[in-house]
Amino acid sequence: MVMHTEVRTKQRRSFNILDTVRLVILTIGAVAMLFPLLWMVTIALKGNNDVFKIPPEWFPKELHWSNFVTGTKEINFWQTFGNSLFIAITCTIGQIVSSVLVGYGLARLSFPGRKLWFSMFVGSLMLPGFVGMIPLFNLYTHLGWYDTWLPIIVPAFFGNATFSFLYVQYLKTISVSFDEAAKIDGASDLYVLIKVLVPMTMPVIMTMVIFSFQGAWNQYLEPLIYIIDPSKWTLALAMASYKGTYATAWNLFMAADLIYILPMLLLFFFGQKYFMQGLGSINSASLK
C-alpha cells in the first residue's frame, strides 16, 4: 500500500516535468515553422536596398507598405489572380457536383457492376497522375484546347475519385430510412439527394469544397503544360516566372507572394474545423 502511493506521487511529479519538456520542444518547433513566414513578411516590408544588407536587419526600420502595390504591378498580378480565382471556383463546383452525384449513385442505388466501378474508381487513385500526361496532352491539342483553360476545367466535371469515395463513406453513416420516407411521398432520387441528403452531409461537402479549392489554387503542372499566353496564366505560373524575371527585387516579390498566399490563409482560418475534420475523415474512411 505504502509503496503504491509512493509510485503515484513520483509519477505525478514526473508528468509535470514531462509536460514542461513537451512544451519546450513544441515551442522550438513552432518557432521553426513560423520563422520562414515571418521572414517573408519582413522582406516584403523592406525598402529596395535594405534587402541586401549584411548582417540583415531582422526587423525593417521603415515599413514600405507600398511594396504591396508596386509588387503586384511588376507582373500581370491582378489579372492572373482573377484567372486563378475563376479556375478554382469552376473546378470546385465541377468536382463537388459530379462527386456528390457519383457518390449517391454508388452508395444508395443498386445496379449490376456497382462494386466493380467503385473499385475501379478507388483503384485509379493509386495510379500516378503523370501516366496520363502525354496522351492527354495529345488529345487536348487535337481538340483545339491547347492554350485554353479547358484541359484544366473540363476534367473537374467528371468526378473526383477521392471525393466520391469520401462521400460514399459519409453517406453510409446516414440511415436509408431518410431516403425511404421521402420516396414514399413520391420524391425522385435527385430530390432526395438535393433536399434531404445534401443538407445532412454539409460537413463533408465543406471539407470537399476546401480541399478542392486548395488543389485548384495550387496546381502548377497542368497550367505549365497547357497555358502559354501570359494573359491566361494562373497565379502559380505567374509567381514561378516572376522569380526568374525580377529575381533581385525580393521585397516586391515577397509582397506579391504574400497576396498569392492570402486566400489560402483566409480559407484556413475560416474553415479550420473542416481542414482538421477533413484530414481525419479522409484518414478513417480509407481504413474502412
Partner 1 sequence: MTVNNKKLRGWAKGYLFILPSIIGFSVFVAYPLLSSIYYSLTEWSGYDTPRFVGFDNFKYMFTEDPAFWPSVRATLYFVFLSVPLSLILGLLLAMLLNKSLPGIKWFRTIYYLPTVVPSIASLTLWLFIYQPQYGLANSLLRLLGLPEGTWLTSETTALPSIVLIGLWQVGSGIIIFLSGLQSVPQELYEAAEVDGAVRWRMALHITIPMITPILFLQLILGIIGAFQAFNQVQVLTGGGPNFSTSLLNFKIYSDAFNGRMFGYSIAEVWILFVIIMIFTAVTYRYSNRFVYYESDNAR
- Candidates 79, 137, 153, 187; binder of partner 1 (CB under 8 A) is 137
107 vs 75, 197, 202, 268, CA distance in Å?
A: 47, 12, 17, 30
- Candidates 33, 177, 199, 231; binder of partner 1 (CB under 8 A) is 33
Stretch that binds partner 1, among 61-69, 75-83, 179-187, 216-224 (CB under 8 A): 216-224
**SS3 (DSSP) at 32:** helix
**Binding-site string for partner 1 from residue 78 to residue 107, where x marks contact by CB under 8 A and - marks none:** --------------------x--xx-xxx-
**Binding-site string for partner 1 from residue 109 to residue 128, where x marks contact by CB under 8 A and - marks none:** xxxx-x--x--xx--x-xxx
- Candidates 25, 69, 198, 202; binder of partner 1 (CB under 8 A) is 25
Q: What angle do CA 161, 284, 171 make, to 5 degrees?
A: 60
Alpha helix locations (H) across the chain?
A: 2-44, 67-74, 77-108, 114-124, 133-142, 150-153, 161-171, 177-184, 189-191, 198-200, 202-218, 221-226, 235-245, 250-287
Q: Where in 55-74 is the site for partner 1 (CB under 8 A)? A: 55-56
- Candidates 77, 149, 260, 274; binder of partner 1 (CB under 8 A) is 260
Question: How many residues form the binding site for partner 1 (CB under 8 A)?
Answer: 92
The C-alpha atoms of residue 247 and residue 288 are separated, in whole angstroms, by 49
196, 182 in Cβ contact below 8 A?
Answer: yes
- We find the least distance from the C-beta atom of residue 217 to partner 1, in angstroms, to be 6
Q: Where in 142-171 is the site for partner 1 (CB under 8 A)? A: 155, 157-159, 161, 164
Q: Is 186 in the site for partner 1 (CB under 8 A)?
A: no
**SS3 (DSSP) at 77:** helix
User: Which residue's CB is nearer to partner 1, number 31 or number 63?
Assistant: 31
- Candidates 6, 10, 13, 19; binder of partner 1 (CB under 8 A) is 19
User: Which residue's CB is nearer to partner 1, number 40 or number 153?
Assistant: 40
Q: Is 230 in the site for partner 1 (CB under 8 A)?
A: no
Q: Is 272 in the site for partner 1 (CB under 8 A)?
A: yes
The C-alpha cell 513560423 sits at 34
Written as one letter, the residue type at 212 is: S
199 vs 192, 195, 275, CA distance in Å?
A: 10, 7, 19
